[in-house]
Amino acid sequence: MRVLQYLMPLALVGLMALPVQAETGDAELGEKVFQQCKGCHQVGASAKNRIGPHLNGLFGRKAAGLDDFKYSKSFQRAGAGAGAGGLEWHADTLDVFLENPRAMTSGTRMSYRGLKDPQERAHLIVYLRQFSDNPANIPEADPTAQAVDHDLDPAILALVGDPEYGEYLSGECTTCHQAAGGDDGIPSITLWPEDQFVVAMHAYKNKQRNHPVMQMIAGRLGDEEIAALAAYFKDLEN
């Protein structure tokens, strides 16, 4: 089997340029990794939608891009982009997604915790890439690729938030996100598990996740503030 390779671009984190380690993928090894996905996803000549959408032609496709598959609201919103470009599948976005699907789309029905090993992700991405119609036309990675440290520092996840501070800060959220839940046009964030809340907010802050309002709001929240909000919303009783 032909081996494709891709390189992660250099990324900027704040003002500091950090070379991101390049992972080289091997399609044959990727096929083995794909065993984990086969329960829900098919790829190749006779692939059909099953529990998850088929993965032919995935590269360059926008999120929630198949007309005949019923996607979660989260994915539909991510694909439409609500004012940003909308999420499209390329090596870089798949890499972020596969590492922790809920960081990018909180409400995805994909019940997969994520593939933590960057090397395994690289193999899988190279394997999947062979099933896109026109690989030659697909860029190696988006010019604006966000291959930044989506590997959220465990110290950030370990921060214990102050719910009282979170209650005050939540005022900025509840202008749009109804405290009582409710999901008409804007997703609910009430009772969101704390770690998922933190991961998602940092994904907005790092501009891995698209949405101009959320990037703006999360962009100026510090680690302690995000932890405080997560601590408040996880137990919010109405």
- Residues lying near other proteins in the complex (CB under 8 A): 77, 79-84, 86, 164-165, 167-169, 171-172, 174-180, 182, 184-186, 212-213, 215-217, 219-220, 238
SS3 (DSSP) at 170: coil
CB of 76 to other proteins, least distance (A): 9
Give the orientation angle of helix 223-234 with respect to helix 194-205, to 10 degrees.
140
Q: How many CA atoms lie within 13 A of 76 on its CB side?
A: 10
**Both tokens of residue 80?**
């439409």
**Which CB sits closer to other proteins, 86 or 114?**
86
**Which CB sits closer to other proteins, 15 or 136?**
15
**Which CB sits closer to other proteins, 42 or 105?**
105
**Which CB sits closer to other proteins, 140 or 162?**
162
Q: How many CA atoms lie within 13 A of 210 on its CB side?
A: 22
CB of 85 to other proteins, least distance (A): 8
CB of 178 to other proteins, least distance (A): 5
**Helices (H) then strands (E): counts for the chain:** 11, 2
> Would you give the DSSP letter of residue 89?
-
CB 61 within 8 A of CB 129: no
CB of 63 to other proteins, least distance (A): 11
**Which CB sits closer to other proteins, 55 or 221?**
221
CB of 86 to other proteins, least distance (A): 7
Separation CA 41–CA 50 (nearest Å): 6
